[in-house]
Amino acid sequence: MLDKTICIDSPPLPDVEKLNKIGKYEIISEIARGAMGVVLLGSDPYIKRKVALKIVNPARLVRFEKAGEYKARFFIEAQAAGNLHHPNIVTIYDANEIDNLCFIVMEYIQGKTLEEICTPDRLLPLEKVVQIGIKICHALDYAHQRQIIHRDIKPGNIMISDEGEVKITDFGIAYMPSVEEIREDDIVGTPYYLSPEQIKGIPTTAPSDLFSLGIVLYELITGTRPFKGGGIEHIFQGILAQEAPRISGFRADVPEGLQRVIDIALSKNVERRYQDGIAFARDLANSLTTTNSFDLEPSLRSKVDQLSSLLFFKEFSKGDIEAFLRIGGWMVFRENETIIHQDEKDTSFYIIVSGTVRVEKGETTLAVLHRGNCFGELAFLRKDKRIASVIAQQDCQLLKLSEVKIPLLPIEVQLRVYQSFAKILAEKLVEMDLRYLELF
């Protein structure tokens, strides 16, 4: 039971044995049952394709004090995943409530979950594990850039199709800041794969999902879980305080680079962990070689792919981003290296492609910025001295653009740059207002 999702006071599952149709969808068979509902194989008679239907019957929940929360959480999955369009995330087609049945219609994946290959006798080659990990990293980064945290990454929620495609499924307990949170104080997720933040009941962020992914990759590599025990308290104690046994102790072919990646992913300190999926994927991609990934200049295609997932470039075409890259500087900074010095005059601004930086004035840390954030825009617009220093908190990749080079861009791209600027400044003003109000 400890490999199942924890949802306090989980609802009874609907009785679907006698169902042969839900709305327009014809029911073929039952696929699986989980903590939040039943998944059925169905058919869309109009489009002529197989679909998966996830069902909960709220009428069965009336005796539970918080029955409405289950229904709300169910449709959070539809809202969360329905707005995500990524090749490594299961596609949501429809969501509705008919005859007291709440259901989500999603892409049907003919294949298996990672649970089936997380055993010592079915281990994959390390190259295959790394490929799977990179795809999951990119999918999670895509979701995180849209402020969606999955919160239940585990082998059972990751599928591999018969064609080898990797898909994340089940956003049923996903967290979106734009949605009123349900049960933030409860432990939500699957015990073996929880992050320290989830156990402590503090807000979850992108590194929480990446910690869970680190456990999944550990299990794929070794065939065993890093944190085990006789009960849930022992598991939680392991996650919070114990170091995971080295993966190289289970497999002789594990290189030190891959060991380092897993160690970073499973760091108890959230600030020492990977802050975004791109940094995680980059290190995974180079974990089986002896070359440090930061010594390699990414290809143009890789740069475009990394930038296109950032919200700053949401309205940019790939051609626009290529134009941006031609006049911008791709820069790499090591941990604790100073990027900007306070009081220096520099009219450039920076976009964080991967990693984390901190903004300091004197001895005071003003902010910590992550992938997709920008800094330096005030000096860029005011053409004045820097009012603070910026230091790499982790190894990071940045895109630098000088104010004098903006006119070199096509006029329509210049317009998009300043539109993105306006959005960034508006968001920062709102954030400052909220902080000000908190003082009173």
State the Cα–Cα distance between residues 71 and 28, nearest whole angstrom: 24
396-402 vs 348-354, strand pairing mode: antiparallel
Residues in a beta bridge with 364: 361
Would you please indicate which residues are annotated as catalytic (active-site) residues?
152
- Residue 66 CA, chain-centre distance (Å), reads 28
CA 354 → CA 30, 202, 382, 385, 424, distances in Å?
Answer: 42, 24, 26, 26, 18
CA 273 → CA 211, 265, 269, 277, distances in Å?
Answer: 8, 5, 7, 11
Taking alpha carbons only, the member of 360, 378, 366 closest to residue 421 is 378
CA 75 → CA 54, 187, 248, distances in Å?
Answer: 11, 20, 42
State the Cα–Cα distance between residues 126 and 218, nearest whole angstrom: 11
State the Cα–Cα distance between residues 107 and 110, nearest whole angstrom: 10
